[in-house]
């Protein structure tokens, strides 16, 4: 007999989301809906009528975790719309900034997922705040990797959080030879630490893969060998940076994208009839509570060729490096394998960077309203911004961010998992829910979206 259990909110991710799960008598998920319940940012509406210089700064404020990816995608969407090519040295600085952001973000995600994992050779889970080994040395390494990534980002981008150096047509300024050397020194130190952290994490993840059970709230929960598997495709535009409609051979196709509204995708109203007060951080939703995912979800449902797709590190490695592992642990493994790539990319770009080279286009058109798009491979996956610019003003703007793509794919990947470890499946996608939120809530108390009032 099917029952409904709900985990709300989910934890150790950015933003607010919840899981509404239909489970069988053994507690195995038959259908899972993972949805954003984060209040809307309204970035696309705020962009209308603003100048093309203003909108990337506005878009970067959609969240504090991914501002670099959004600044670059937004800037390049404007450039794609107006048909502006940027100098080579500007592109190199943007790529350095992008890789530094990914380096820091992978390390941050390690902090969020390690409490789910066991110290190899023990029955003890990680507590990164414990004053003992290996927690102390691992945390020290993670903190230094993040510091290196943020410092390189601050040098190349102006600031580590909301970068001020990128602008329409290139960058405001190049870096000095001394700043270039400092970034190289940091990247070389980061490369050593990245290899160490990657090897450490791969040992931890492989150890977990070999376990039969995992403990949740004092109970032993079976750990399926195919945890997080799904039959959907993958989507990626580049191993590291991305693509745009200015490219001679773009690696993303606007015509293959469609968007479905949440009320046509998620399950309708259900009543919670399974409850576990012992579930971590306050228990699950109480029995008798009504849930209505199709009216609570604060995102649309993007599809590519009519189907949800997975984006992120596993998708990148599958698309460009023949990586063929699947599921939750494969996502973790792929993410660790990107650690060294970030440092190698920074060093390669620095080798080619001319600090005397120009970083601003000679001519910056104002646009005729043509549609342009830019996709970059943010830490969490393909991040696409689309724009129409005319006379320097934005007529239309859209953001298709990584977690928006992954919401429906992950929902399908929940099938077959014990409900108690559904959050482990979610965390493997490294969700950034705030960036993904794009619906308007009209009833804050009941979290009802504006089903009939939104103009698309």
Q: How do residues 167-216 score in pLDDT, each as one tens digit?
A: 999 999 999 999 999 999 999 999 999 999 999 999 999 999 999 999 99
Give 365-411 pLDDT, tens digit per residue.
999 999 999 999 999 999 999 999 999 999 999 999 999 999 999 99
The binding site consists of 44, 63, 66, 399, 432, 435, 438
Binding-site residue numbers for Mg(2+) are 44, 399, 438
Please give the backbone phi and psi of residue 360, each rounded to the nearest 5 degrees, phi first. Answer: -130, 135
CA dihedral 148, 154, 157, 161 (to 10 degrees): 100
**Residue list, annotated binding site for Fe cation:** 66, 435
Exposure b/e, 211-232, CB count within 10 A at least 16 = b: eeebebeeeebbbbeebbbbeb
- Does the predicted model carry a pTM greater than 0.85? yes
Q: Which of 369, 435, 367 is nearest to 399 (CA)?
A: 435
β pairing state of 219-222 and 213-216: antiparallel
Instruction: Please give the annotated binding residues for Ni(2+), written as ranges.
Output: 63, 66, 432
Helix (H) or strand (E) holding 406: helix 402-413
- For the chain, which residues make up each domain, given as ranges? 3-449
Per-residue pLDDT band for 442 (boundaries 50, 70, 90) equals: low
* Lookup: tokens for 411: 């929902």
- Alpha-carbon span 260 to 268, nearest angstrom: 15
Q: What CATH number has the domain spanning 3-449?
A: 1.10.645.10
Backbone φ, ψ for residue 375 (5° rounding): -120, 130
- Residue that wins the pLDDT comparison between 443 and 303: 303
29-36 and 17-23 beta bridge pairing: antiparallel
Instruction: Identify the bridge partners of residue 34 per DSSP, sorted by sequence position.
Output: 19
**Residue 397: its pLDDT value, please?**
95
């Amino acid at each position: 007999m099917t029952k409904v259990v709900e985990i709300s909110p989910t934890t150790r991710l950015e933003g607010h989301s919840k899981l509404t799960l239909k489970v069988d008598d053994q507690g195995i998920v038959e259908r899972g809906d993972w949805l954003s319940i984060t209040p809307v940012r309204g970035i696309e509406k705020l962009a209308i009528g603003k100048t093309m210089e203003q909108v990337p700064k506005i878009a970067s404020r959609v969240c504090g975790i991914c501002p670099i990816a959004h600044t670059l995608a937004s800037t390049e969407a404007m450039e794609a719309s107006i048909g502006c090519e940027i100098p080579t040295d500007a592109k190199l600085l943007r790529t350095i900034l992008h890789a530094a952001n990914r380096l820091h973000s992978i390390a941050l995600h390690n902090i969020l997922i390690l409490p789910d994992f066991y110290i190899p050779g023990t029955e003890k889970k990680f507590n990164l705040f414990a004053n003992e080994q290996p927690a102390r040395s691992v945390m020290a390494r993670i903190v230094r990797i993040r510091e290196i990534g943020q410092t390189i980002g601050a040098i190349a981008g102006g600031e580590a959080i909301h970068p001020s150096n990128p602008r329409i047509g290139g960058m405001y300024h190049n870096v000095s030879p001394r700043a270039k050397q400092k970034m190289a020194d940091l990247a070389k130190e980061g490369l050593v630490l990245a290899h160490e952290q990657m090897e450490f994490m791969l040992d931890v993840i492989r150890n977990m893969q070999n376990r039969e059970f995992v403990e949740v709230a004092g109970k032993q929960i079976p750990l399926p060998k195919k945890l997080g598997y799904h039959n959907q495709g993958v989507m990626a535009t580049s191993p590291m940076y991305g693509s745009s409609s200015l490219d001679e051979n773009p690696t993303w196709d606007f015509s293959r994208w469609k968007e479905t509204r949440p009320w046509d995708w998620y399950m309708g109203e259900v009543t919670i009839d399974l409850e576990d007060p012992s579930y971590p951080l306050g228990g699950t939703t109480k029995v008798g509570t009504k849930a209505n995912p199709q009216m609570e979800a604060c995102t649309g449902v993007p599809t590519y060729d009519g189907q949800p797709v997975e984006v992120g590190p596993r998708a990148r490695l599958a698309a460009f490096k023949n990586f063929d592992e699947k599921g939750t642990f494969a996502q973790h493994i792929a993410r660790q394998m990107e650690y060294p790539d970030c440092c190698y990319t920074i060093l390669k770009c620095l080798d080619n960077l001319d600090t005397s080279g120009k970083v601003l286009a000679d001519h910056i058109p104002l646009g005729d309203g043509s549609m342009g798009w830019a996709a970059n491979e943010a830490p969490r996956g393909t991040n696409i911004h689309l724009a129409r610019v005319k006379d320097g003003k934005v007529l239309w703007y859209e953001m298709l961010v990584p977690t928006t793509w992954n919401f429906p794919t992950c929902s399908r990947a929940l099938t077959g998992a014990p409900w108690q470890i559904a959050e482990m499946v979610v965390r493997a996608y490294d969700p950034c829910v705030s960036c993904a939120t794009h619906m308007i809530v009209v009833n804050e108390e009941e979290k009802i979206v504006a089903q009939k009032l939104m103009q698309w």
